Amino acid sequence: MLLLHLVACGFVALGRLHDDSRGWPYHDGLLAGREHEPGVLYARAVYWACVTMTTVGFGDIIPLTIEEMLYTSATMFIGAYTAYAAIGLIMAELV
């Protein structure tokens, strides 16, 4: 849960990095007029982090800037590594 929170906070920070409507909060129109409400941004970012870290990737919230794309790639790697490490620990106990 802590990792999910940290990843979501990082994605919110990246979304607020550009003031010219280039980041993810401005893309889908669902946040129209509410892009700057912290609770709304955080809820969408937690959803994005959960979907990205589990490698489901629905594609409804997409990275638009180079920074967001790099962050998304790192998040996918961290999510996969965390899952594989957990599976490895469980398998080590079973063998």
Cα Rg of the chain, angstroms:
15
Provide the pLDDT confidence category of residue 6 given band limits of 50, 70 and 90.
very high
**What pLDDT, on a 0 to 100 scale, did the predictor assign at position 31?**
63
Residue type (1 letter), 92: A
Mean pLDDT of 14-23: 77
Q: How far apart are CA 52 and CA 34, in angstroms?
A: 23
Q: How far apart are CA 18 and CA 35, in angstroms?
A: 12
- pTM, whole model, 2 decimals? 0.80
Highest mean pLDDT among 9-18, 44-53, 56-65: 44-53
Q: How far apart are CA 10 and CA 42, in angstroms?
A: 10
